[in-house]
Amino acid sequence: MDGADLEKLKNIFQKHSVVKSTDGQIISVAGGKSSWLFDSRNALMRPEALQLAANIFWETFEKEYPFQICGQETAALPLIGAIVLKSAEAGKPVNGVFIRKSRKPDGLQKIIEGELNDEKIILIDDLINSGKTMLHQIEILKTAGKKIDTIFTLVRYRPLDSYEFLKENGIKMVSLFTLEDFGLSMSKRESKIRSDFQILWYFQSPNPNYFYRVPKSAPVIDGQKLYFGSDSGYFWAIDKKDGSPVWKYKVGWHAKGKSIFSSPALWNNFVYFGSYDGNVYALDKNTGKVNWIFMETDWVGSSPAVAPDLGLMFIGLEFGLWRKRGGIAALDLKTGEKKWDFTMPELTHSSPVYDEKNKVVAIGSNDCKVYLFNARDGKLLWEFQAGGEIKASLCIDDKRKLLIFGAFDGYIYMLNLSSGELFYKFKTLAAIYSTPVIYENNVIVSSLDKKIYSINLDTKGLNWDYQCGGRAMTTPLIVEQSIWVGATDGVIYEIEASSGKLLSIFRTTERITNKPVYDLKSKTLFVPTYANEIYAVKV
């Protein structure tokens, strides 16, 4: 390649892309301060830099023609455009496509834009740091039946042998510069993050709805089967060992492209769930046959909470009436008979939580209130006004007698269970669409600000927070000393519960909006995506 062009491009990057802390405050992805930043976009928006990059690329790869190029939005887009134009000028037109960070929710709902052909693929990006972005693209292209031949980047942050996925996937890499070329270096080498998980099996329900990027029906397991609902209206029971369907049940007609968002609950030989056809179902978990159906509502997005000691099941309800929009009902576990109910002025998508010790049940609603009831008779004990809608469920800390939940105003609320008085609230930077969980003396919660928070319930202080690569709306799963939580970047993160340190990642190609489930006996993690997929992963 032309050494003069390389030197010119390097000088442009040095002048316009290398930013030091002396030039202004630089915030890292973890929220702390950084001493430098490499802002390649500031250079690549300049025609001379883009033209130089395209010329160098073409000089490097012209002899390998024919090929096609691909990259992920946003930084790769100007490079792809410049190279496609350069190839046309050279009389050797190159096909260009790009990968979205996440699937488009409307229109054609594509995750790959453009049309891939059978030519070999050169993956393009401005820089490579940890390689997570590249791994995301590799997995998406694999699902399209394509393999990457070479990765081309302008700047490489780490030594070449740091990228083990290159050898694992048989991919070559070409980088024009390293950090050292600009007098920069990584402050410290990250400890190795595990990502080489074995996928035991994969299952997908047909006709997923990509429009709703929200928590849907999360799976539950028993000794033999995994159960979950889908957008197509099928409720599935599949074999835990191999992912084969054991039985399926089709619910009734549903509006607005929604069907089963309710996560199931198990008791004895029954599985319970709600549906947007307006019904609550109790099915025989071995055969899928109907035990009973409760039909007194218009929609059910809430998930059931069972109280075996009372013989009851609690669930949130939604209505299409002007003065009656939401509520909660207590149903007999064996017969579905309604024992009591309570009406609320707004839709109630939140899922109830039952506390066996105190025989109380709590639920939130879109009226921004939390309600606590006597679980036996439905007597309202107290209500609390929050600052935003409550969409997810709540958790109870019996040790401190606290009711804890997140709201759309970005606060994590902690209330005195007996009185409903505010004990403490913690502010995040975005709405909360997940259920908090208790780990030792801490509450763990995910937020749409892309962070996972650990808050000490005794000191009311923040232990740590971890920045995900996408919005976090999944309820965290505690497995021994680890927290597993998914995000809309299609990654499920394993985080050390005591420190917030990242231990491992498992990557899918679709958003993860639901809580995973773990089978302790087989050490298998079942990872759901919003596309009605289930990955069985050996941990």
Is the pLDDT at 191 greater than 60, yes or no?
A: no
Percent of the chain past pLDDT 70, that is, above it, reads: 97
Domain ranges of the chain: 3-182, 191-214+461-539, 216-295, 310-390+393-432
Averaged pLDDT of the chain: 93
DSSP 189: P
- The matching CATH number, chosen from 3.40.50.2300, 1.10.10.10, 2.40.128.630, 3.40.50.1370, for 310-390+393-432 is 2.40.128.630
Which range has the worst mean pLDDT, 36-40, 170-174, 408-412?
A: 36-40
Q: Do domains 191-214+461-539 and 216-295 have the same CATH topology?
A: yes
491 touches 197 (CB < 8 A): no
Q: What is the pLDDT of residues 48-86, one digit of tens each?
A: 999 999 999 999 999 999 999 999 998 899 999 999 999
- DSSP string spanning 320-343? --SS--EEEEEEETTT--EEEEEE
Q: What is the pLDDT of residues 469-482, one digit of tens each?
A: 999 999 999 999 99
360 touches 417 (CB < 8 A): yes
Q: What is the pLDDT of residue 112?
A: 93
Assign domain 191-214+461-539 to a CATH class: mainly beta
Is the pLDDT at 188 greater than 60, yes or no?
A: no
Which of 101, 96, 84, 83 minimizes the C-alpha distance to 137?
101
Which of 226, 227, 229, 202 minimizes the C-alpha distance to 217?
229
Between the alpha carbon of residue 134 and those of residues 72, 505, 524, the distances in Å are 8, 14, 26
475 touches 107 (CB < 8 A): no
Q: What is the pLDDT of residue 320?
A: 87
Q: What is the pLDDT of residues 378-431, one digit of tens each?
A: 999 999 999 999 999 999 999 999 999 999 999 999 999 999 999 999 999 999
Is the pLDDT at 528 greater than 90, yes or no?
A: yes
Is the pLDDT at 189 greater than 60, yes or no?
A: no
Q: What is the pLDDT of residue 29?
A: 62
Q: Tell me the mean pLDDT in the region 40-53.
A: 91
529 touches 490 (CB < 8 A): yes
Is the pLDDT at 187 greater than 80, yes or no?
A: no
315 touches 305 (CB < 8 A): yes
CA torsion through residues 80, 84, 85, 87, sign = positive
- DSSP string spanning 343-377? EESS---PPPEEETTTTEEEEE-TTSEEEEEETTT
Is the pLDDT at 274 greater than 60, yes or no?
A: yes
Q: What is the pLDDT of residues 114-146, one digit of tens each?
A: 999 999 999 999 999 888 889 889 989 998 999
Give the N- to C-terminal CA distance of the chain in Å, as an integer: 45
Assign domain 216-295 to a CATH class: mainly beta
147 touches 122 (CB < 8 A): no
Q: What is the pLDDT of residues 211-247, one digit of tens each?
A: 999 999 999 999 999 999 999 999 999 999 999 999 9
Element (H, E) at 95: strand 95-99
Q: Tell me the mean pLDDT in the region 259-281.
A: 97
- Find all residues with CB under 8 Å of 508, minimum gap 6, and list them: 139, 490, 491, 492, 527, 529, 533, 535
Just give the CATH number of 3-182.
3.40.50.2020
Which of 533, 520, 498 minimizes the C-alpha distance to 506?
533
Q: What is the pLDDT of residues 88-120, one digit of tens each?
A: 999 999 999 999 988 888 888 999 999 999 999
- DSSP string spanning 59-74? HHHGGG-S-EEEEETT
Given pLDDT bands bounded at 50, 70 and 90, which one contains residue 534?
Answer: very high
Q: Tell me the mean pLDDT in the region 454-472.
A: 95
Given pLDDT bands bounded at 50, 70 and 90, which one contains residue 190?
Answer: low
